Amino acid sequence: MNIKDFRYDGSKKFNIKEFDTNQTGEFKDREDAESNRDDHILELQGLQDRLYAENKEGLLVIFQAMDAAGKDGAVKYVMSGINPAGVSVYNFKVPTAEEMDHDYLWRAMKAGPERGKIAIFNRSYYEDVLVVKVHQLHLNSDLPDRCKTKDIFEKRYEQIRNYEKHLYENGFRIVKIFLNISKDEQKKQFLQRIDDPAKNWKFADGDLKERGFWDQYMEAYEDAINATSTKEAPWYVVPSDKKWFARQLIADIIVKTMEDIDPQYPTVGEERKAKLAEFRKLLMDEE
Ligand code: ADP
């Protein structure tokens, strides 16, 4: 799949109204798309193993989406084949009192990846330019008045660009994924959650209220993505009306990003090789 078609790195504008959320690339149907699932998982396993062994770069994968777009399923899919020791998932909820007493990047910094590992953010500091912008939550926060300026979100975009550049320049790769669904598809998903007893738990009372702000969210996503698409930390906008397509594309994006890192198993020098030969001899000489 050509992941470039879905990549925003500052060289083109993202226009949310023109984006087809129902596209499925070269795949005819789910079966066709999932036929390479095992290959993906094997590739991811191999790359993760080398990333871990090399212990130089770390990878941060950010997932953002409207409710019911398939974020959790995508996280599960990506995680399915990989070594749990090398990955962490952090869910960004409504900030706690402790988190609110810090700047909005603080909790992200704490949860960021270590070298050799993958950190997955299920939502992220982008909430601070999405839900906070749509509902103007900063106005009722403990931020001092001097910070509650009209251009607060422009400033945050800049802070985010700088933060991501800082991470990149210190050995971390960042991939940002927006699972883009249509309002109609969200309705279908919500109805399933209401109708299917096994899915009832997924439906929250506030979900319909947020759906009422759909247009404002779309505008906030478009603005945030255009303002923070960079070469170092590109956005990928993933058509998500067909979840099976979104998952394949996401797996591809992560595999290709890791291929780009191209982690290598550490090699040993002559001295170490001689030492290993000694250990081998000791083992072989055991009674
Ligand atoms: P999810 O929908 O990701 O499965 P939840 O149902 O717990 O998980 O939703 C998390 C909620 O936390 C979302 O409504 C999200 O907008 C909200 N949230 C996350 N970060 C912030 C923030 N910085 N300020 C306000 N709300 C936030």
**DSSP conformation class of 179:** E
The residue whose C-alpha atom lies closest to atom 9 belonging to ligand 1 is: 93
Q: Decide: 163 and 112 in contact? Cβ < 8 Å.
A: no
Query: Hey, what CATH topology would domain 3-284 get?
Result: Rossmann fold (3.40.50)
Question: Does the predicted model carry a pTM greater than 0.85?
Answer: yes
Average pLDDT, the chain: 96
Query: In the β-sheet with 87-91, what is the strand arrangement from edge to edge?
Result: 7-8, 235-239, 172-180, 58-65, 118-122, 87-91
Which residue carries 């399923």 as its tokens?
73
pLDDT tens, residue by residue, 218-268 = 999 999 999 999 999 999 999 999 999 999 999 999 999 999 999 999 999
Please state, in angstroms and rounded to a whole number, the distance separating the CA atoms of residues 49 and 28: 32
The residue whose C-alpha atom lies closest to atom 24 belonging to ligand 1 is: 94
* Spacing, Cα 79 to ligand 1 middle (Å): 21
> What local confidence, expressed as pLDDT, does residue 37 receive?
81
93: left (phi over 0), alpha (psi -120 to 50) or beta: beta
pLDDT tens, residue by residue, 138-192 = 999 999 999 999 999 999 999 999 999 999 999 999 999 999 999 999 999 999 9
The residue whose C-alpha atom lies closest to atom 16 belonging to ligand 1 is: 131
Q: Find out whether the beta carbon of 99 lies less than 6 Å from any atom of ligand 1.
A: no
* Spacing, Cα 100 to ligand 1 middle (Å): 14
Q: Find out whether the beta carbon of 54 lies less than 6 Å from any atom of ligand 1.
A: no
